[in-house]
Structures are given as structure tokens and as C-alpha cells.
Amino acid sequence: MVNILVTGGAGFIGSSLVNQLIKNKHYKIVVLDNLVTGKIKNVDKNINYIIKKDVNNYYELKNIFIKHKFDYVFHFAALVGVKRTQLYPLEVLNDIKGFQNIFELSSNYNVKRFFYSSSSEVYGEPVIIPQNEETTPLNSRIPYAIVKNLGESFCKTYFKEKKLKYTIFRFFNTYGKIQSKDFVISKFIQLAKQNKTIKIYGNGSQRRTFCYIDDTIEAVINCFEKNMHINDVVNIGNDVEISMNQLAKIIMKKTNSKSKIKYIKPLKEGDMKRRKPDNTKMKKILKRNLISLSKGLDKII
């Protein structure tokens, strides 16, 4: 039996990973989540170990490591959401305590490999497009991005000093059916279905790429099960750009919505002009084309 810990395992990406891993009968999955943004209902009912704890509590976390003797750790716990992380920056900085705890315990209890959920936010305002794992400079400014970048440093440092193997996933705008309604695609769909006004920050020219959750999870699990990209960084995202204006109009068309678009004051920080990954590594991991935004939206709508 392979023992696996997934922190943040009741969140959107975390629970999607858990629900796929549980299909393998050789895996025993332990889900750890403080349930601030995660929901137990997201997790497959066959998961026997769902623990409402916070990685910031060292002694509670240590007892969990002692009891379950983990072979692998997926550290996906984090405070998420642009507005939420800007409104509560001190809570974002609290994630640093979790890094200290989870990396130390993973090292002390002989975890074979550590998988870390980073973010496209570490690139900051882009100076190179597409954003490449090795050659694009990291321009982190907001607390969320800085903390994610620090987590990457923990990965590299613990490998250097303690030989804890790692893989860093930089996620670019993943979307899917159970994503929280305060993320852009879920929010736009909900408003469009109700024929309510869709509010867009600034002039709507911001460009993003969107990756359907099935592609994200398949890439993560392939890296895990096929021993790919050990001690490496992988961009996880689609490479087809779309503006917020275009996104709103596509969703309105697909939902036959009578919504109107209203432009509101841009965010002071954190709403980057563009994000587009160099996803060469991801395409080699999947060995297939990624799900198009149109098909992904159809799956949700």
C-alpha cells in the first residue's frame, strides 16, 4: 500500500486530484484541509481519512505523519483567490508556517517525493511571453506570489540539504465544474445564466489562458506515477490566450444570456496584463491535445 497525503485536499484542484487517485486500490489517501475554502462534499465518499486540521499546527501535523507513514506528499493547501489574498495578506503569510512544518516532517519521516502547488503568479507582470520555467524571470510582488515563490525555494533547499525529492507545478488558471463561484469562469457563467450584469475590471483587455481540470490532474498524476520531472518545475496550463471581454461574450453566447457587461475600476495590483505558459513539458506529459476552452465550458454549462 502506498500512503499519500494531500493537503488542501478538499479544495478544487486538491479534491479533483484525490478523487482520481482513489481509483487506484493500491493508494491509501489522507486528506488534510482546514476547510476555510475547501468543502468536504468535494471529496469522494470512499476516502476514509479526511482530517480537519491546519498545516500550521506542527504537533497535530506531526502526529498525522507518525500515524500514517507517508510515502508521498502533495502540498496543495493555500489561501486562494485574487481578492481574498489581497484583503487578507497576513493570512497568506501564515502559509509560511505550513511550509516550515510540512517540509521538515516530510524530510524527517522519509517521504520519497514532495509535490508542490505553485502558481503562475510567481512570474508577476510578464516580461517574456510565453512564460518559460527556466528562462522567464520571476517578478513576484503581491504577498500571494511571494509566498508561492518562497515555497519553491523550500523545495529546492530541502532537496539540496536533505535530499527530499520534489516536483513543482506552476498552475495557470485551472477551471472546472466544482470551482468556487468567486473565480472568473464560474462567476461569469453564474451571472450569465441569471441574466445579471457581468462586471469586468478595467477595460477587459487582460489576457489569460484557461486549463480544464481534467488536463491538470492527468498531468499531475502522470508526473507522479511515471516518475517524470523529478527535481524540476512544470508549467501546468493551456497556451491559448483569450481576453476577459472575449471570455464574457463566449459565455453569454453559450448560455443564451441577456447579460450586459459593465466595466469597473481596475484592481490596484494583482491583475496582470497577460499570462501565457510555455507548456511544452505539459504537452509531452499528456501526449495529446489539451481540452479546448469551448469544450471545457460546454462540460460545465
Distance (Å, whole) CA 280 – CA 26: 31
Distance (Å, whole) CA 108 – CA 98: 15
The SS3 call for residue 277 is: strand
Residue matched to cell numbers 512564460: 131
- 144 included as an active-site residue: yes
The stretches of 56-183 forming alpha helices (DSSP H) are 58-68, 82-87, 89-93, 95-108, 143-162
Catalytic residue of the set 144, 158, 175, 212:
144
Q: Which helix (H) or strand (E) holds 117?
A: strand 113-119
How would you classify the pairing of strands 198-201 and 49-51?
unpaired
Distance (Å, whole) CA 71 – CA 54: 20
Question: One-letter amino acid identity for 26?
Answer: H
Active site residues: 144
